[in-house]
Chains A and B, each alone.
Chain A
Amino acid sequence: MEFAELIKTPRVDNVVLHRPFYPAVEGTLCLTGHHLILSSRQDNTEELWLLHSNIDAIDKRFVGSLGTIIIKCKDFRIIQLDIPGMEECLNIASSIEALSTLDSITLMYPFFYRPMFEVIEDGWHSFLPEQEFELYSSASGEWRLSYVNKEFAVCPSYPPTVIVPKSIDDEALRKVATFRHGGRFPVLSYYHQKNGMVIMRSGQPLTGTNGRRCKEDEKLINATLRVGKRGYIIDTRSLNVAQQARAKGGGFEQEAHYPQWRRIHKSIERYHILQESLIKLVEACNDQTHNMDRWLSKLEASNWLTHIKEILTTACLAAQCIDREGASVLIHGTEGTDSTLQVTSLAQIILEPRSRTIRGFEALIEREWLQAGHPFQQRCAQSAYCNTKQKWEAPVFLLFLDCVWQILRQFPCSFEFNENFLIMLFEHAYASQFGTFLGNSESERCKLKLQQKTMSLWSWVNQPSELSKYTNPLFEANNLVIWPSVAPQSLPLWEGI
């Protein structure tokens, strides 16, 4: 096995482990292909198992012959290892560095992980689109399942099965796909049982500077409107940004061509701005100087809570359109794989009681994040401590979880799951023994044969013994729409993370 070449020193004795809030532990450090293991070799003491893929950055320091490695994890933990012996320390450090930045996905731990538990229910088949569609059975009059993307030819980031208006045939869908960014034609995201209104999502229309139009696209989204009704298009970019996008071939829906739709621009930040925000936030949290003013100004400078507020506001707006105005909504940003998904999924949490249950929330993540092609692999490659910044890294999913937590705090009895469930999802999105969050889209996951080669996270979580950890004892099904407050005074910082 090639891991062996990377591990120069597999074992060091008398290593001291320091963790915040825990007493120091002395023990033996072992390196394996996927884990860093520290064991004190005594009974009843906890061992540390750390996935290499969880490691975000490492620092080395030497005092005499005592080397110190500081490991900063993607889940924001910081641990410190004191290793006697200069050479061992250097070897360990370089091994960890190499092992934590493996390029090939197929070398990742999920491909080697063999579950120690009995699989009661295979998570890969827990949330099939057909089953999800059946839940909307009352919608089947107007909507249908389309297999136009079966070979991922029409849209590489969409799943094989999508829900589209019944009156639109596959041929038209192909045409619309050429008009939308990344081939992401408008598809159904959520059907509001109460009044039959829907949330759709897509990529930006490729109008370009000369205002291209596409009859099929207009027909498709108009097909979702009732007679005489208007709909809302929520563009998650500011008008300025959307206009600039035209120069690159993108753009937005022109009023003239979409007379039945009203367009609203909201600005949700993306990519590196979010990443920098997270980096600043974590830096502020790790500042131990006990200085009140520094903390507040750093918290403010990180803008993290501003982003939370923007996202929640937009989601509430979408939900308001659906529930209060009785109007359908189309949501898109540029690609429709980041801020769009934050908004559509949060709107569903506000509107749909089912998505506040554990299974419903899992289904929501499966449908609105995994199937909808949120590029987890790219977005979660690094976390707050890494210096080499890539353009596509962004804590989009973490922001979404934080928003869910904010709503959960305001409605502590309306959710079946608790804070730990959200934290668990966050940890697994960044480093996991399960294959669920690997790859950037369904098509990549198919190519990797994840279903055959790895375990699904849901198989593990949905065991009764695991579920009990994540259940909220105060849950009482609340069939109402919940409206969170978005004033800054109502949005505290999530301490759990």
Chain B
Amino acid sequence: MEHIRTTKVEQVKLLDRFSTSNKSLTGTLYLTATHLLFIDSHQKETWILHHHIASVEKLALTTSGCPLVIQCKNFRIVHFIVPRERDCHDIYNSLLQLSKQAKYEDLYAFSYNPKQNDSERLQGWQLIDLAEEYKRMGVPNSHWELSDANREYKICETYPRELYVPWTASKPIIVGSSKFRSKGRFPVLSYYHQDKKAAICRCSQPLSGFSARCVEDEHLLQAISKANPVNRYMYVVDTRPKLNAMANRAAGKGYENEDNYSSIRFQFVGIENIHVMRSSLQKLLEVNGTKGLSVNDFYSGLESSGWLRHIKAVMDAAIFLAKAIMVENASVLVHCSDGWDRTSQVCSLGSLLLDSYYRTIKGFMVLIDKDWISFGHKFSERCGHLDGDPKEVSPVFTQFLECVWHLTEQFPQAFEFNEAFLLQIHEHIHSCQFGNFLGNCQKEREELKLKEKTYSLWPFLLEDQKKYLNPLYSSKSHRFIVLEPNTVSFNFKFWRNMYHQFDRTLHPRQSVFNIIMNMNEQNKQLEKDIKDLESKIKQRKNKQTDDILTKELLHSVHPESPTLKTSLCFKEQTLLPVNDSLRTIEGSSPADNRYSDYAEEFSKSEPAVVSLEYGVARMTC
């Protein structure tokens, strides 16, 4: 509270991001403890969570006021003009403070209260049970067992307590291997393919330097390959570019030497590091923010940002994994430097390709919990939850979501969830509204007592499941149906609904999915009505037959039935138009489309029309 000096500013203008004619909305800006709220003259509200703010910028004073540009982590960009410089300065300072908290305890999740009691909260956290998930995969079994080596986080702080390793790997081997791996992250099971008896394992880079060896580590790798009864060799995938891995050797780290390990095949896949990814996204956003962008600038910007190239690299690596398991029956060990960024991307995408369970809503939550949260992807640092090192921020998880989105585009029937689900998850990794993504590893989360003090996101998403269902999903498919995406370059497209999710004017105006969903609803409703009516008919007929029996008036049956029929038809007819109104046709207004360069030339403007577009944007956020 102590950061807020001005809670309300009137006569603030909200500029349209893309309009070349400086169109704007006037309204009032409110500052609360958690949100920034803008209410325009049409009573449309725009809520911005402080934690979503990536940067606030105060531009040079203009004649109309003091411009304030706010960039959000969910790719919303708002441009306010505050009439008085003092107000602007106050807001600017408050936002700077509020958007970058120093302590976890100040984050929204610790004050967020969805009116649930403690047992409900606990149930929410128990919704996803990783032990259950490993059981589903088929472990422990005769080759893999639960290891209690890390029960007290003694061997590796960033791993979870429960880890699955080959049963032949004894504790000394594990301890020895962990000492030979960066941050103690020794090879453990990530996914077990029951059908092929092959596993995806993950770890961090070995501390091999130029010549160091570790017998325990070699033993552990051999144990992993032996745990696969079908194929004796295993792939070791280093997700870094070869050059980066070589450079690491000088620092005493590096990669596995094929000569020292029996039965491994070593492979680089060349995904760039977090710093490259961060600047790539930065470039992409710069290009997209340009006013009056030409097609050529867009594509050359897209190219020079390299974003899609990185996405493709991640995808290629995941495909390599899936192929190794499906085609060669070989187990795979994946690592990068620390084994929590690229390794998480590749392992989780690989499992998603292999196992259709992860393509369901629940399964996708499990996947994120397993490969990202439990294995210590540093969400708090990568998303910049706290005021920390900006060099640790990187859109690694965003890339994973984008890869999944590309898969949903190529396989529209394979996923139970839709784009909105991915966008919602992306929203919440930054929102700090729920406890799931706070902290950098399980140990830290336990210390923060997140399960007692905050709520889990997943039950809230499940409750709203309807919104996230893909109407084209066909669930009948077999569990081990492998997706084989086509990676020809033109299949990689710019994800407009992510990077422009708040720029509604850029979107198609009618959504096929919504309409199909509505139609399904209608059908269900109609089927229900038919059943109701049929039962009514039966009742009446029974009645009639009773009547006939009692009164023996045979003729009366005939005049009755047509009225029944007409009433049935009538019911259906009246139903339809009601449902039709559900269909929305947006875009019946020409407000701010880019071709209105000539709008200034035209004498009249269309005031009523602008609000319509904004209304649409707000309703869905």
Contact = CB atoms under 8 A, between A and B. Distances in A.
Interface of A: 264, 284-285, 287-288, 290-297, 299-300, 303, 305-306, 308-309, 312-314, 316-317, 320, 323-325, 409-414, 474, 476, 478, 480-493, 495
B285 to A, nearest CB: 12
Given A300-B296, A485-B594, A413 B490 contact: no
A245 to B, nearest CB: 23
A188 B308 CA distance: 47
B493 interface: yes
Nearest to A409: B508
B309 A292 contact: yes
A412 B584 CA distance: 12
Contacts of A483: 509, 587-590, 593
Contact of A299 (B299, B588, B596): B299
12 contacts: A296-B303, A297-B299, A306-B295, A309-B295, A316-B595, A324-B602, A411-B587, A413-B515, A414-B510, A476-B580, A481-B590, A488-B293
Interface string B486-524: 011110111010011000011111111001100000000
B232 to A, nearest CB: 31
A320 B509 contact: no
Contacts of A474: 512, 515-516
Contacts, number: 150
A489 B496 CA distance: 6
Nearest to A472: B512
Contacts of B500: 489
Interface string B397-440: 00000000000000000000000000000000000000000000
In the A-B complex, the 8 residue pairs with the smallest Cβ-Cβ separation, listed nearest first, are A295-B489, A300-B299, A296-B303, A488-B298, A292-B309, A313-B595, A306-B295, A483-B590
B299 to A, nearest CB: 4
Nearest to A289: B489
Nearest to B592: A485
A149 B206 CA distance: 85
B298 A489 contact: yes
B312 interface: yes
Nearest to A410: B508
Contacts of A291: 489
Nearest to A264: B598
B522 to A, nearest CB: 13
B299 A296 contact: yes
A487 B510 contact: no
B606 interface: yes
B585 interface: yes
A315 B362 CA distance: 47
A487 B293 contact: yes
Most chain B beta-carbon contacts within 10 A, residue among A295, A297, A476: A295
A490 B248 CA distance: 42
A274 B308 CA distance: 27
B275 interface: no
B588 A488 contact: no
Given A290-B312, A483-B589, 11 more contacts: A288-B488, A296-B489, A309-B294, A309-B295, A320-B590, A323-B590, A482-B509, A486-B595, A487-B506, A488-B299, A490-B496
B602 A295 contact: no
Nearest to B516: A474
B296 A316 contact: no
- Best-buried of B494, B511, B598 by chain A (most CB within 10 Å): B598
A492 B589 CA distance: 22
Contacts of B580: 476
B160 interface: no
Contacts of B494: 489, 492
A483 B596 CA distance: 11
A426 to B, nearest CB: 19
B415 to A, nearest CB: 20
Given A306-B294, A488-B293, A294 B489 contact: yes
Contact of B604 (A325, A411, A484, A489): A325
B231 interface: no
Contact of B295 (A290, A410, A488): A488
Nearest to B599: A320
Contacts of A299: 299, 490
B490 A285 contact: yes
Contact of B296 (A288, A306, A410, A495): A306
B18 interface: yes
Contacts of B515: 413, 474
Contacts of A300: 295-296, 299-300, 303
B34 interface: no
A476 B581 CA distance: 12
Contacts of A296: 299-300, 302-303, 308, 489
Nearest to B297: A488
B493 A486 contact: no
B588 A293 contact: no
Nearest to B587: A483
B609 to A, nearest CB: 9
B306 interface: yes
A305 B295 contact: yes
Contacts of B303: 292-293, 296-297, 300
Contacts of A323: 590
B489 A486 contact: no
B391 interface: no
A202 B299 CA distance: 35
Nearest to B588: A480
Contacts of B593: 316, 483-487
Contacts of A324: 590, 602, 604, 606
B583 interface: yes
B316 to A, nearest CB: 8
Contact of B598 (A303, A308, A317, A487): A317
Nearest to B494: A489
Contacts of B587: 410-411, 482-485
A303 B496 CA distance: 20
Contacts of B506: 485, 487, 489-490
Contact of A303 (B18, B296, B298): B296
Contacts of A409: 508
Contact of A412 (B298, B302, B512): B512
Nearest to B292: A487
Contacts of A264: 598
Contacts of A482: 509, 587-588
A485 B295 CA distance: 13
B71 interface: no
Nearest to B18: A487
Contacts of B493: 492
A314 B604 CA distance: 19
Nearest to B606: A324
B288 interface: yes
A290 B295 CA distance: 22
Contact of B488 (A290, A476, A481): A290
B294 A488 contact: yes
Contacts of A312: 595
B528 to A, nearest CB: 23
Contacts of B490: 284-285, 295, 299, 493, 495
Contacts of A320: 590, 595-596, 598, 602
A292 B295 contact: no
Contacts of A484: 509, 587, 593
Nearest to B312: A292
Nearest to B305: A296
Given A306-B295, A411-B508, A316 B590 contact: yes
Nearest to A296: B303
Contact of A413 (B294, B510, B596): B510
A487 B507 CA distance: 10
Contacts of A493: 490
Given A305-B295, A317-B595, A485-B594, A292 B489 contact: yes
Contacts of B487: 290
Contacts of A285: 490
Nearest to A350: B590
Contacts of A491: 295
